[in-house]
Structure 1
Amino acid sequence: MEKHDLIVIGMGPAGMAVTAMAANMDLDVLSIEKHKVGGECLNYGCVPSKALLKAGEVNEVTENLKKFGINFSGKTEIENPLEIVREKVGEISGSKTMKAFERAELIINQGEAKFVDKKVIEVDGKQYTADKIFIATGTEPLIPPIPGLKDVHRLTNLNIFEQEDIPEKLTIIGGGAIGSEMAQAFSRLGAEINMFQIDDHLVPTGDEEAGRVLEEKFKKEGIGVYNSTGINKVEEKDGKIITHTDAGVFESDEILVATGRKAVLEPLQLDNAGIDYDKNGIKINKRLETNVKGVYAVGDCNGKALLSHAAMHQGMLALMNAINPTPIKQFKYDDFLVPWSVFTKPEIAQAGLTEKEAKEKNINYQVVKEKYENYGRAIADGKPEGFVKVITNSKGKIYGATIVGEQASELIHEWILAIQHNISMFDLMMTQHSFPTISLMNKRIAEKWMMGKTNTGMVPKLAKKFI
């Protein structure tokens, strides 16, 4: 039986982080991946979806050049964007990615890993042991129990990028990040889109007002958005998908299911190791360790935050805890803010509390909001949709930030830093931002907060007296 310092099961974002860092420390690392290095994020999610969104954006800009004073005679022709997406994924997942794992031993595409006992893992009939074991097996698409859905040809993020052509008509179930991103990408590449969800606004985990801005943009682009709409059954007739909904019957060439994720734990045979788990994932403590000492569960498989950056961060934290010689200073996953972004146009990004969550927690808060349409750079760029909304209080403490608009996924990082390190609105106001960057929107919010403090009460009277 082979003995290693560490065994990593799964080479998605979490497993890759553990493997690369541990190997760089010159630890003896064995990493096991049943399919492809990179997991869902690189091969079927974050990366290919952004490549397809970019193709759609390029096409949309080309078809709207007149808005920038440029005349274009002709019409774009959609040829092979999905093939280009696959080529880009192949380039990224090749030698550039694999170089980070040169010092680790890898078992790739040789079957599922399973626990024999608390310290022994078996793959393809061979057994391996290690003092520290990291489970990083991720999740898979959740298929809701809609009558007939499991009997028709359906798309998920696992196979949508393998399509040869853009479908003429695409039905999408789900209005979250995946559903929204794919709706806009395929629409801008020529598909007729209808999307359905049971929630009452797009991107339901986020701010309702932000979801409404995106919905308005979708409707302008011809995307059918059906919120609070149930699906009664799905069937296939003459090669077409027929979707029966509360809003009527819709026909399409394909149907995409984007209704969430679920952990797949059965192949691991966790019971052999006595590892606790439930329907949400593997149970962990705040150090990301399971009930079995020395066995950690990181990323989506623990159900805490189904996001690639959270998975990478958890992998880093778990490894740091595993090699820490003292229990005094431990790294807890919930000490660190988990932001998220949706890469539609306009983008949506969130850090900390939404306004709804602040209200539910009975926080004495105030909302400061600045619209993109009030800033010259956004107008110059032709991107006036959206706003920055910050949940704060009279002292400038920042509880949360919602951004919908151009470069929202980049602007959100300043608010993550502010919330996590207790940086105030005053501190942000006093920080110079290069003009005319989009990030100056953040400073404008802080200035607006300060204006609210200085134009009421005694401040105007005192200012006049001192002048």
Structure 2
Amino acid sequence: MSEVFDAIVIGAGQAGSPLADRMSREGWRVAVIERSRVGGTCVNTGCIPTKALVASAHAAWVVREAARWGVVPPAQPVVDLPAVIARKDRISGNSRGNVEKWLRGMANVELIMGHARFVDPHTVTVDGRRLTAERFFINVGGRPAQPGVEGLDDVPWLTNASIMRIDRLPRHLVVVGGSYIGLEFAQMFKRYGAEVTVVQRGPQLVPREDTDVAQALRKILIDEGLNIRTGAECVRLAPSGNEIAVQVNCKDGPPEVIGSHVLIATGRRPNTDDLGLEEAGVKLDERGNIVVSDQLQSSVPHIWALGDCNGRGAFTHTSWNDYEVVAANLFDGARRGVGGRVVTYALYTDPPLARIGLSEREVRATGRPALIGTRPMSRVGRAVEKGEEAGFIKILVDAESKAILGASILGVDGDEAIQSLLDVIVARRPFDEVMNGVRIHPTVSELLPTVLQSLEALKPLADE
């Protein structure tokens, strides 16, 4: 006998929980099924716990570097890693508890802990229960992937989740993967006091970014004492006594790095392979993402996919926007989609890298006439006063419409400052109509109009 609901939400992540709340307020009877912990990646193994760890790392760095501000600490800082982990757990746990309390307090919503699996397009089973609904909303998130790394069965290794549970500082942490997740942990553990080496298969860190951004970020990390090995042709792990040999096969430097711990940060994959989606007729792409329309409907129109499992963005903010799009279309008579969503994200190294819109490389690929403005962070009063002058600002503009095409800010408070540029893009207004307001001094944002006033034609590269 099946239990009947108006809607079933599979996964209590950053899209599923608020969507359940909206459906509850609309009078729907809803089942929210979660097989692990409510809150999704962000609350449990992503944004919230990692940024709590970044904050502890920043505190250690400030104490260690205090002399640059004229403060002499009584001794070199000693990081109490168990205390750092406990702080992270409190913050993450409180957030998770608040989400669960929220869900359990929703009218007409039942939170079911267990593993959902489709048996037909309108039915799932959960620990012996059979549940049916007119509509399904899948928000199951993703997990770490390990493409192209050999020897994983021969040695112990860490993921972005398990590294946040270790209780002693690594002697030497080797991070395989020089992109967003890997670099945050690499800098973090260096500031805790570990030796750190980053091994990146490609020729540059953060390959999605422009070369000048990647080079500036690399210099920041090297200046802090991190070892960076790019151009690793073949990455293989092997035992080396009580430690781990990471064979990198690079052209420069030793052919292997010996570490006490290895973090594999080479990508993520969606949690879609054990949901019985084939029984529901839901199509997946080659990466395992659920194929969705602009309105986030799958190949089966009454089944939607939101968040990391749909391949349309893998951030908390894009997951939340997925919820907004679906809710507006279902209940507000809207016809919203995600196709026009402006790319926006940040890498939380210190200083952070904030990005919106198109990169310089992408602008060049369009062939359109464009303008570019840049300024080093050393020209920003706020950065100078805080003693954190590394990085730069880069803004790209359409030469004809004066629309902002994209921007990168690698520098202190750049993740906050860039938001005003994002608002201009979303408003679809020329920058010179909306960037003339008086801005607070001293802030990073106050330099953005100055950068735009110095725009020059984007010149062809030497090899173009």
Of 158, 163, 187, 2:161 maps to: 158
Rate the CA distance shift 1:115–1:324 in 2: closer, same or farther, 3 A. farther
Q: Aligned equivalents of 2:112 and 2:173: distance in 1?
A: 34
Q: Give the aligned partner of residue 197 of structure 2.
A: 194
Distance in 2 between residues matched to 1:354 and 1:183, nearest whole Å: 25
The corresponding residue for 1:304 is 312
Aligned with 1:258 (options 255, 265, 274): 265
CA apart distance, 1:262 = 1.0
| Contact 1:429 1:447 (C-alpha < 8 Å) held by counterparts | no
Equivalent residue for 1:346? 351
Q: 1:380 aligns with which of 381, 385, 402?
A: 385
Spell out, residue by residue over 1:305-344, the C-alpha distance to the aligned partner (whole angstroms, 9 max, x if none). Answer: 111211111122123223356xxx4111112213010111
Q: 2:373 aligns with which of 368, 392, 396?
A: 368
1:229 equivalent in alignment to 2:232 = yes
C-alpha distance in 2 between matches for 1:338 and 1:356: 14
Determine the structure 2 residue equivalent to 1:459. Answer: none
CA contact (8 A) 2:39 2:99 kept: no
1:145 aligns with 2:162: no
The answer for the alignment partner of 2:460 in structure 1 is: none
Please, which of 275, 281, 286 is the counterpart of residue 268 of structure 1? 275
| Unaligned ranges ≥5, structure 1 | 454-467
- After TM superposition, give the deviation of residue 441 of structure 1 in Å: 2.2
CA contact (8 A) 1:305 1:311 kept: yes
Q: Which residue of 2 aligns with 1:105?
A: 109
Matches within 5 A, 1:369-408: 369-395=374-400, 396-408=402-414
The match for 1:318 among 311, 317, 326 is 326
Alpha-carbon distance in structure 1 between the residues aligned to 2:125 and 2:88: 35
Contact 1:120/1:129 (CA < 8 Å) preserved in 2? yes
Return the alpha-carbon distance in structure 1 between the equivalents of residues 346 and 109 of structure 2.
34
C-alpha distance in 2 between matches for 1:97 and 1:344: 30
For 1:386-419, what per-residue CA distance to the aligned partner results, in whole angstroms no more than 9, with x for missing partners?
A: 1111111334221111111011111121121111
1:249: which partner in 2?
A: 256
- Once the two structures are TM-superposed, the CA of residue 374 in structure 1 deviates from its matched residue by 1.2
2:99, 2:275 → 1: CA distance? 30
Deviation at 1:100, TM superposition (A): 5.2
SS at match of 1:116: strand
Q: Deviation at 1:226?
A: 1.3
Judge conservation of contact 2:240–2:258 (CA < 8 Å) in 1: no
**Cα distance, 1:108 vs. partner?**
4.5
Query: Which of 179, 183, 190 lines up with 1:180 in the alignment?
Result: 183
Aligned residues: 447
**C-alpha distance in 2 between matches for 1:432 and 1:206:** 31
- Secondary structure of the structure 1 residue equivalent to 2:132: strand
Q: Distance in 2 between matches of 1:392 and 1:95?
A: 42
Mark the CA change 1:313 to 1:429 in structure 2 (over 3 Å): closer, same or farther: closer
Partner secondary structure for residue 431 of structure 1:
coil
Amino acid at match of 1:140: R
When normalised by structure 2's length, the TM-score is 0.92
Alpha carbons 1:83, 1:164 under 8 Å: kept: no
Q: Deviations over 1:282-326 (max 9, x none)?
A: 11111100121211011111112111211111122123223356x
Paired letter, 2:340: D
Q: Where does 1:60-139 land on structure 2 (aligned, <5 Å)?
A: 60-79=61-80, 80=82, 81-95=84-98, 98-99=101-102, 101-103=104-106, 105-110=109-114, 112-139=115-142
Q: What corresponds to 1:40 in structure 2?
A: 41
Shift of 1:132: 1.5
Contact kept in structure 1, 2:375 and 2:451, CA below 8 Å? yes
1:97: Cα distance to partner?
A: 5.6
Aligned residues: percent identity? 27
Tell me which amino acid in the other structure corresponds to 2:209.
G
> Is the alpha carbon distance of 1:359 and 1:251 closer, same or farther for their aligned partners in structure 2, counting shifts above 3 Å?
same
Q: What are the superposed Cα offsets for residues 81-138 of structure 1, whole Å, 9 maximum, x if unpaired?
A: 122211221122223663255115344442x101121111111111112222101111
Question: Counterparts of 2:24 and 2:267 in 1: how far apart (Å)?
Answer: 33
* Distance change in 2, residues 1:235/1:128 (3 Å): same
Aligned equivalents of 2:314 and 2:98: distance in 1?
A: 27
State whether residues 206 and 350 of structure 1, in contact with CA within 8 Å, keep that contact through their aligned partners in structure 2: no
**Partner Cα separation in structure 1 for residue 282 and residue 410 of structure 2:** 41
Question: Cα deviation per residue 1:15-53 (whole Å; 9 max; x = unaligned)?
Answer: 123223322334322111100001121111111110111
Contact 2:174–2:259 (CA<8 Å) still a contact in 1? yes
RMSD between aligned residues: 1.8
Q: Does residue 284 in structure 1 map to residue 292 in structure 2?
A: yes
Query: 2-side partners of 1:401 and 1:126: how far apart?
Result: 50
* Structure 1 contact 20–101 (Cα < 8 Å) conserved: no
Contact 2:381 2:444 in 1 (8 A): no
